[in-house]
Copies of this chain bind each other. A is one copy, B any other.
Amino acid sequence: MQILDGKRCSEFYRAQISEIVKKIIAGGNSAPRLSLFMIGDNKNSELYVKLKEKACRDAGIETRVHVLSENASEERLKEMIYEENADPETAGILIQLSLPGKFNESRILEFMDPARDVECFLPVNIGGMFLRNDTKIVPCTPLGIMKLLKYYEIDVAAKEVCIIGRSNLVGKPLALLMLSANATVTVCHSKTRNLAEITKRADILISAAGRAGMIDDKFIKPGAVVIDVGSSRVKKADGKYEARGDCDFEKVSKVAGHMTPVPGGIGPMTITMLLYNTVYNYILMKKLDITMNI
């Protein structure tokens, strides 16, 4: 059983992204900038924004973080997003979700210039991804999964790929990417009957159910590649919390051929792809003669 090490793979990609940023700056350009919005008091959001800030800094990407109180008006938020839209050095805008209940998330996301939507949240961008093969920006988690498989030279073409979960962020866009890469794709979800029977057919199983430990050895075809996107917050015996994947690692690892751990699997890849998208987007926006063939 081989561990698919998302941390190692992230380091590999981040080093390359870093090199590209250096090349951009050496060409007389300013560093690409990611502008983040954090609204309201939310410990999780704070943690994620900090992680993203640090990852950007390490890669040479500039960040600008706007922190607004929950009392901020939608009008004010719109104004600030519009300012970022108009800034030629802002390569990406990220609005940290979830927003406090009083805000209409999809309406606020729509304030973003689609050309700066580095998470591929807007309909026009997800539609572009759906329709084209010469995809521009792709959602970070599905992209991270594809890049992890590429890093480990696991080819998906003509393989049976099974995805558990049909979310807008993972399951559905990943299904599209896998189809473009010539996989035969099955999407399962909470209403699927005989789940284990279906997942057991898969050469590559991706679980994005968000239910800690729901997948054990009975769900796995011997030798399969297993990607665990789950990350549930679970209370341990000592009262502390930890992130737990969808897979029962001990049981699954006895049957699978390759497997991502939680933590240290898809988590770091998602943030790495945010860096990737920001730099890629900057190159597109500025029409730089730099290819990002990584």
Instruction: Pick the interface stretch among A6-14, A17-25, A78-86, A191-199.
Output: A191-199
Instruction: Pick the interface stretch among A63-71, A175-183, A260-268.
Output: A175-183
A1 close to chain B: CB less than 8 A: no
**Residues of chain B with a CB closer than 8 A to A122's CB:** 127
Q: Enumerate A103-132 residues with CB–CB distance to B below 8 Å.
A: 106, 122-128, 130-131
A158 close to chain B: CB less than 8 A: yes
Render A148-170 as a binary contact track against B, CB cut-off 8 A, 1 for contact. Answer: 00000000011010000010100
Distance from A88 Cβ to chain B, minimum over Cβ atoms (Å):
24
Cα distance, A172 to B186, chains bound together (Å): 12
Of B130, B166, B192, the residue contacting A158 (CB under 8 A) is: B192
Contact of A185 with B187 at beta-carbon distance under 8 Å, contacts A127-B125, A130-B168 already known: yes
Of B128, B157, B184, B189, the residue contacting A179 (CB under 8 A) is: B189
**Residues of chain B with a CB closer than 8 A to A182's CB:** 189, 191
CB-based nearest B residue for A122: B127
CB-based nearest B residue for A106: B131
A188 close to chain B: CB less than 8 A: yes
Distance from A256 Cβ to chain B, minimum over Cβ atoms (Å):
21
**Residues of chain B with a CB closer than 8 A to A123's CB:** 123-125, 127-128, 130-131
Q: Is the CB of A157 within 8 A of B191?
A: yes
Of B184, B185, B198, the residue contacting A193 (CB under 8 A) is: B184
Cα distance, A131 to B110, chains bound together (Å): 13
Cα distance, A243 to B176, chains bound together (Å): 30
**Residues of chain B with a CB closer than 8 A to A193's CB:** 158, 184
23 A-B Cβ contacts within 8 A? A122-B127, A123-B123, A123-B125, A123-B130, A124-B124, A124-B127, A125-B127, A127-B128, A127-B130, A130-B172, A160-B198, A172-B176, A172-B179, A175-B175, A179-B187, A179-B189, A184-B187, A184-B188, A184-B189, A184-B191, A184-B198, A185-B186, A186-B186
Which positions in A face B, CB cutoff 8 Å?
A: 106, 122-128, 130-131, 157-158, 160, 166, 168, 172, 175-176, 179, 182, 184-189, 191-193, 198
Known: A122-B127, A158-B191, A184-B186. 14 other contacts (CB 8 A): A106-B131, A123-B123, A123-B124, A123-B127, A123-B128, A124-B124, A124-B127, A126-B127, A126-B131, A130-B168, A172-B176, A179-B187, A182-B189, A184-B187
